[in-house]
Structure 1
Amino acid sequence: MAAMTAPRWIIHLPTTLTSLDEATTLAVALRDSLGHVTAIDFGETTLSEEDQQFLRTRIWCDAKLDGADRCRRRDDHDGPCGAMDEGPHR
């Protein structure tokens, strides 16, 4: 029988932003400034409209790369995965 793991907690952080691009830019800025905090899993970041929180938009691909790295490119990126960030709007 597999060992049970403790549930992870999600922090819902409402904003006053009104566009997906603005929210994505903020998510990138938060990842860039708080990326050293190991308790935050930025690869799993999703965005949703305030009144449709069940419809989530994934930000990053987060596929496993060689070693412990994960893909830092946008979820819908073209080409191979990579550890280099391509910026918020590509």
Structure 2
Amino acid sequence: MTEPHWIIHLPTTLTSVDEAAALSMALRRSLGHVLAIDFGETTLSEEDRQSVRTRVWCDAPLSRSRRCLLPVAHSGRCR
């Protein structure tokens, strides 16, 4: 049996999804070296609608166990 993974819910005072996405991007840039954080699975939700989530990153599988690092609605090929 595998151990469960844990989710950290980090509330903010931000009032728009664009601001929240920008914050998640800044956190990824500054904390991307922390291997315990899976930024590819980052989602956003409104405070009172936490079951409705918006993905931030594409996270599509690439070669050699890598995943796309671009935002979810990117144009062009995954990188």
Normalized against structure 2, the TM-score is what?
0.94
Deviation at 1:5, TM superposition (A): 1.2
| Structure that is richer in strand per residue | 2
- How many equivalent pairs are there? 79
Counterpart of 2:54 in structure 1 is 57
Residues 12-71 of structure 1, C-alpha deviation per residue, up to 9 Å, x if partnerless? 000000001100010000000000000000000000000000000000011121223210
Rounded to whole Å, the distance in 2 between the matches of 1:76 and 1:55 is 18
Q: Give the letter for the 2:67 counterpart.
A: R
Deviation at 1:80, TM superposition (A): 1.2
Task: Among all aligned residue pairs of Structure 1 and Structure 2, give the percentage whose two residues are the same amino acid.
Answer: 67
> Matched residue of 1:55: which SS?
strand
Report what 1:29 is aligned to: 26
Code of the aligned partner of 1:14 = P
Root mean square deviation of aligned Cα? 0.9
The amino acid of 2:54's aligned partner reads T
Gaps of 5+ in 1: 83-90
TM-score w.r.t. the length of structure 1 is 0.83
Larger Cα Rg: Structure 1 or Structure 2?
A: 1
Q: Higher mean Cα deviation, 64-73 or 36-45? A: 64-73
